[in-house]
Structure formats: structure tokens, C-alpha cells
């Protein structure tokens, strides 16, 4: 069983964004699986770095769509992206410096962050983008 199961409830109804969200879910699951079988901290660190880089790419995609379509809550959404990115980068930095071992607490943070962001913040833009013709 996956740490995070992709279900239709996580869909925002926009294919490009849903595919990126699925990739993020897959990366969080990869980190969890590697941790569960006792992979070394270097492997875990690489997965965490990949997750952060893909998250930045995904946030950039969302933000470009918001700017292009003049999404009225763009600045609020971007602030959340910036805060989430900073939190993830801080985790990776602490891990890299040896100040923190990746733990289930980190996995739980990532799971909660991803699902709460999709279910809360991202779902709010769905009707707006769908009305603009995005699918």
C-alpha cells in the first residue's frame, strides 16, 4: 500500500496540474519506501532534493497559469508556495548538514503538506481555470 494513494478526490480537474501532482505523490511515496526499507541517508537526501526541485517546477507551472489567466488570488497562492518551498528547503539543508535524520515525522509533514495544499489551496482555483477553458 502506498503512503499516499492518488484518488479522484485529489484531482483539480486540470490534466497538466493533476499529472504534476501525481508525480509529487510518487516522489513522496518513493521517499517513504526508501526510508521504510532502510536506505542510506545519501539516497534519502537525493530523493528529497528531487522532490524539492520538482515542487519548484510545479509551483512555477501553477504560477504561470495564474498570471496568464489573471487569477485573482495569485499573490496569496504564491505566498503559500514560497512558505512551503522554504520549509522543504530548510528540511533538506538540515539533512545535508547532518542536523536532522529523515524520519517518519518528515514523511508525515510532506504528506500533510501535499494533500492539504491540493485539497485546500489548489482546489480553490479549479473552478476559475475550468471556466477559462483549462482541462
Nearest residue to 59 (alpha-carbon basis) of 21, 106, 33: 21
Give a yes or no: residue 111 inside a domain: yes
Is 86 part of a structural domain of the chain? yes
The CA distance from 6 to 11, in Å, is 9
**Structural domain count of the chain:** 1
Domain with residue 24: its CATH number is 1.20.120.50
In which domain, by residue range, is 49 found? 11-131
Interval 29-54: pLDDT, tens: 998 888 888 876 777 788 888 989 99
d(CA 107, CA 111): 6
Evaluate if pTM is beyond 0.85. Answer: yes
Neighbouring residues of 64: CB distance < 8 A, sequence distance ≥ 6: none
Instruction: Please report the pLDDT score of residue 61 as a whole number.
Output: 98
Q: Is residue 6 part of a domain?
A: no
Residue 4, domain member (yes or no) = no
Amino acid at each position: 500500500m502506498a503512503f499516499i494513494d492518488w484518488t479522484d478526490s485529489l484531482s483539480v480537474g486540470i490534466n497538466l496540474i493533476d499529472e504534476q501532482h501525481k508525480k509529487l505523490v510518487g516522489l513522496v511515496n518513493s521517499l517513504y519506501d526508501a526510508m521504510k526499507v532502510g536506505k542510506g541517508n545519501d539516497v534519502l537526501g537525493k530523493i528529497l532534493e528531487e522532490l524539492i526541485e520538482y515542487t519548484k517546477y510545479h509551483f512555477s507551472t501553477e504560477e504561470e497559469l495564474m498570471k496568464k489567466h489573471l487569477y485573482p488570488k495569485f499573490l496569496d497562492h504564491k505566498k503559500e508556495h514560497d512558505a512551503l518551498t522554504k520549509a522543504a528547503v530548510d528540511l533538506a539543508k538540515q539533512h545535508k548538514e547532518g542536523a536532522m535524520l529523515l524520519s517518519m515525522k518528515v514523511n508525515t509533514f510532506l504528506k500533510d503538506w501535499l494533500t492539504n495544499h491540493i485539497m485546500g489551496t489548489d482546489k480553490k482555483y479549479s473552478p476559475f481555470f475550468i471556466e477559462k477553458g483549462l482541462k
